[in-house]
Amino acid sequence: MAGISLRKVRKSFGAVTVVHDIDLEIADKEFIILVGPSGCGKSTTLRMIAGLEEVTSGDLIIGDTIVNDVPSKDRDIAMVFQNYALYPHMTVYKNMAFGLELRRSPREVIDKKVHEAAEILDIEHLLNRRPKALSGGQRQRVALGRAMVRSPAVFLLDEPLSNLDAKLRSAMRSQITKLHRRLDATFIYVTHDQVEAMTMADRIVVMNDGCIQQVDTPQMLYDNPVNMFVAGFIGAPQMNFLDVTIRKANGAAVAEFAGQPLPLPAKLGERIAGEYEGRTCVLGLRPENFHERTPADVDPALTAPMPVDVELAEPMGPEVHLNAMLGGHAIVAKVSPRCRATHGDRLTLTADLTAAHLFDKQTEQALVA
Amino acid sequence: MNWAYNFYFREGPGIPKDAPKPQGLRLLAAVLGREWWELLKLNLLFIAFSLPVITLPAAWYATVSISVTMIEDRNVYLLRDFRDAFCSRLAVSTLVGLLFGASGTLGFLAVRTYAEAAKTNLLFVAPLTIAVTVSALLLLLNAHLFVALTKGAGRPLADIFMASAIGVIARPLPGLAALFIVALLWLAHILFYPASVFLPVLVNFSLGALVTSFAVLKGVQIGLSYLDSVRKHGTIRRPKT
């Protein structure tokens, strides 16, 4: 069993606290991803779990044991670093076998484990080569293999794909996901790339300023962000935020934007009707909630026409990202590749408000239905 | 210091999985390029293990064993594998070494005697030629024997001898070429002495072992597989050991 619990874990460097009393439960064999902008404390949290940083206060529990004072080597974990940290003078085989040799594992066991890991990672042909000859992706697989041969209960991966090009990163993403299924171990993965987080994780931990913002499955995070930070961080391009005023029209709450009433889903309207009436809130609309024309599967009563001034059209292949101005707000809309709008064009997009999010302007917390 | 960092940590070109394996001299060059540092260390190990003189054949066997591992692109833990090879075939390789030493000495004496005699009587050119040829074949057989000892682990000594002999007959030219290169290495040491004083310390033994192993490996494999094949079909009697 290798469930991990962080209870009120804090990390300070002198007077500066970089991780603020975080609580987190990681289930055994779970693939959990810590995501957040640079400096949010995700790597520090990982390094505390690894035993590379001391915990200032709180309890770090692996299995049933508090491991605050347990040395890294005794925690039954393996870590894969962003820069791979391979020994340049050793062959791939020796790099992978090194940890086991330090533990004085029998030669046959080392050989078997190295070859097994190499086979899984498809690097058997590299075993007698030195890292110098390997590409980034191959080095990354060696680093993974080095972690694998130790058969740890927990794998810690600190931005392992950051140094790879986009194509290789995509390939390695799926390889790591398959590896997790195959190894049946707990994976804790740190990244600032939300695409990695969304595609690989069982659950995502979104961090900012040393605090956990939200912990949930990727889809739940996307659909139900608890605050503006999570809403803005998860999703690419990020969610559009519009300042709106809550009004009542025909007995239902509407969000007034630039003098135009925008209908809100009934449940959301009921939740905010009394408390927020007349107050300014932030309306969150994802880029895919803007359309050139109303889709057939959307209730027309929950749509609103929005005239926008196109500033830039970015063709992405399957879609076009329109960077436009809407009532003084810069927005991004994902429209179909057939859209021929260019800089300076004015067109009217249909906003689908069924998936609209509302946030308190002051607290930035979501106003959940 | 960036160059040093880049030298070690710069991303390489990568090695395609399906890249064709180099053959022939390209393979030898690839092994040399990959293992040059290990070869230097291997040379020192050979010298260290040969110091008691009587252990010279076993040290040579260990050097050849490591060379074969390098040629076959398998991982080498130099000290550990050398020590293991040295100990595992200490007796057999010493016996082979002594046999070769004795026969080699006889061959050398024969060549020298007939060469002296040929100066005064041309009739002695015939036995001189035979003595030179037999000595060269003995040298070649010896080169095959040590590789056969490595590749034929667990086989009776008679099989090793037979496979080596078959190898000598099947592919004598690569072996002779390798011996020629080894001779050149030593000639370079002699000619350029004292500038070449470190040549034997650094590369002569390990490079010699690598080159000869590379040249005779295929012949030994042919010999061993021939023995296996004919034995499997019952057309040859198993030699008594």
All domains of chain A in start order, with CATH: 4-226 (3.40.50.300), 240-360 (2.40.50.140)
Cβ–Cβ gap A131/B10 under 8 Å = no
- Helices H / strands E in chain B, number of each: 10, 0
Give A1's pLDDT tier (boundaries 50, 70, 90): low
B241 pLDDT higher than 50: no
Give the start-end residues of each E strand in B28-128. none
Cβ–Cβ gap A134/B15 under 8 Å = yes
For residue A294, give both structure tokens.
């109303």
Report yes or no: B10 at the A interface, CB cutoff 8 Å: yes
- Residue pair B35/B70 in contact (Cβ under 8 Å)? The answer is yes
- Nearest-angstrom CA–CA distance, A250 and B162: 104
Cβ–Cβ gap A132/B34 under 8 Å = no
Name chain A contacts of B74, Cβ cutoff 8 Å: 128
Cβ–Cβ gap A129/B17 under 8 Å = no
pLDDT at residue A286 in the model: 95
Q: Which residues pair with A158 in a beta bridge?
A: A190
Name chain B contacts of A129, Cβ cutoff 8 Å: 15, 34
Interface of A with B in 44-103 (CB under 8 A): 88-89, 91, 93-94
Looking at the partner chain, which of A93, A125, A132 has a beta carbon nearest the beta carbon of B12? A132
Give the CA distances from residue A195 to residues A216, A221, A302, A330, B233, in Å, rounded to whole numbers and listed in that order.
Answer: 15, 13, 29, 23, 63
Report yes or no: A329 at the B interface, CB cutoff 8 Å: no
Amino acid occupying residue B104: G
Report residue A42: phi and psi, to 5°.
Answer: -70, -45
Task: Determine the residue of chain A that is closest to B19 in CA distance.
Answer: A125
Percent of chain A with pLDDT over 90: 60
**CA nearest neighbour of A117 among A80, A136, A144:** A144
Q: What is the distance in angstroms between the Cα of B15 and the nearest Cα belonging to chain A? A: 6
Q: What is the distance in angstroms between the Cα of A117 and the nearest Cα belonging to chain B? A: 16
For residue B189, give both structure tokens.
């040491």
In the numeric block, the tokens 């880029």 are attached to A287
| ipTM for the predicted complex | 0.81
Q: What is the distance in angstroms between the Cα of B170 and the nearest Cα belonging to chain A? A: 31
- Nearest-angstrom CA–CA distance, A272 and A247: 10
Q: pLDDT tens digit string along B111-162?
A: 999 999 999 988 899 999 999 999 999 999 999 999 999 998 888 889 999 9
- Nearest-angstrom CA–CA distance, A344 and A189: 43
Compute CA A169 distance to the chain's CA centroid, rounded to the nearest angstrom: 15
Q: pLDDT tens digit string along A93-141?
A: 999 999 999 989 999 999 999 999 999 888 999 999 999 889 888 998 8
Cβ–Cβ gap B11/A136 under 8 Å = yes
Sign of CA dihedral A164, A167, A168, A174: positive
End-to-end Cα distance, chain A: 38
Cβ–Cβ gap B13/A133 under 8 Å = yes
Q: What is the mean pLDDT of chain A?
A: 90
Q: Which residues pair with A247 in a beta bridge?
A: A254
Residues 6+ apart with CB under 8 A from A290: A306, A322, A331, A333, A334, A335, A349, A350, A351, A352
Maximum alpha-carbon separation in chain A: 79
pLDDT at residue A358 in the model: 92
- Nearest-angstrom CA–CA distance, A115 and A110: 8
**CA nearest neighbour of A320 among A334, A308, A306, A305:** A334
How are the residues of chain B apportioned to helix, strand and coil, as percentages rounded to the nearest 5? 80, 0, 20
Interface test with B, best of A132, A139, A142 (most B CBs within 10 A): A132
A213 pLDDT higher than 60: yes
- Helices H / strands E in chain A, number of each: 9, 20
How are the residues of chain A apportioned to helix, strand and coil, as percentages rounded to the nearest 5? 30, 35, 35
A27 pLDDT higher than 50: yes
B9 pLDDT higher than 90: no
Q: For the sheet containing A346-352, what is the strand order?
A: A290-291, A346-352, A303-315, A320-326, A329-335
Q: What is the distance in angstroms between the Cα of B16 and the nearest Cα belonging to chain A? A: 9
Give A43's pLDDT tier (boundaries 50, 70, 90): very high
Name chain A contacts of B34, Cβ cutoff 8 Å: 128-130
Q: Which residues pair with A284 in a beta bridge?
A: A241, A357
Cβ–Cβ gap A126/B10 under 8 Å = no
- Nearest-angstrom CA–CA distance, A218 and A228: 16
Cβ–Cβ gap A125/B15 under 8 Å = yes
For residue A141, give both structure tokens.
């697989």
Cβ–Cβ gap A93/B9 under 8 Å = no
> How many A-B residue pairs are in contact by the CB < 8 A criterion?
43
pLDDT at residue B19 in the model: 82
**CA nearest neighbour of B162 among B95, B86, B234, B241:** B241
Tell me whether strands A203-208 and A211-216 are parallel, antiparallel or unpaired: antiparallel
Name chain A contacts of B36, Cβ cutoff 8 Å: none
Looking at the partner chain, which of A88, A89, A138 has a beta carbon nearest the beta carbon of B15? A138
Cβ–Cβ gap A88/B11 under 8 Å = no
Amino acid occupying residue B182: V
